[in-house]
Amino acid sequence: MDRYLVISGDGHAGLPPEKYRDYLDSKYHAEFDERLPKEIAFREMMEEKL
């Protein structure tokens, strides 16, 4: 019988959204700054529902 080692790479780990700005091209900074408060509010709303 053959055996296989299965490793799941679907773990979700990452930075909080506000920390990604430094990794973006500067042409995306304005859009990022505009959208960030909405993303944070959405994240907080979802956390309250848990």
Q: How many domains does the chain have?
A: 1
Per the domain annotation, does 12 fall within a domain?
no
Per the domain annotation, does 9 fall within a domain?
no
Model confidence, pTM: 0.60
Contacts of 40 (CB under 8 A, 6+ apart): 17, 18
Per the domain annotation, does 29 fall within a domain?
yes
The predicted structure's pLDDT at residue 12: 65
pLDDT band with cut points at 50, 70 and 90 for residue 7: confident
Per the domain annotation, does 33 fall within a domain?
yes
Higher-scoring residue by pLDDT: 12, 27: 27
Per the domain annotation, does 2 fall within a domain?
no
Distance separating alpha carbons of residues 28 and 35, to the nearest angstrom: 11
Query: Which two tokens mark 48?
Result: 């309250």
Domain range enclosing 33: 17-49
Per the domain annotation, does 23 fall within a domain?
yes
Tens digit of each residue's pLDDT (9 = 90 or more) over 20-46: 899 899 999 999 999 999 988 998 999
Q: Report, as an integer, the average pLDDT of 2-20.
A: 78
> Does the pLDDT at position 16 exceed 90?
no
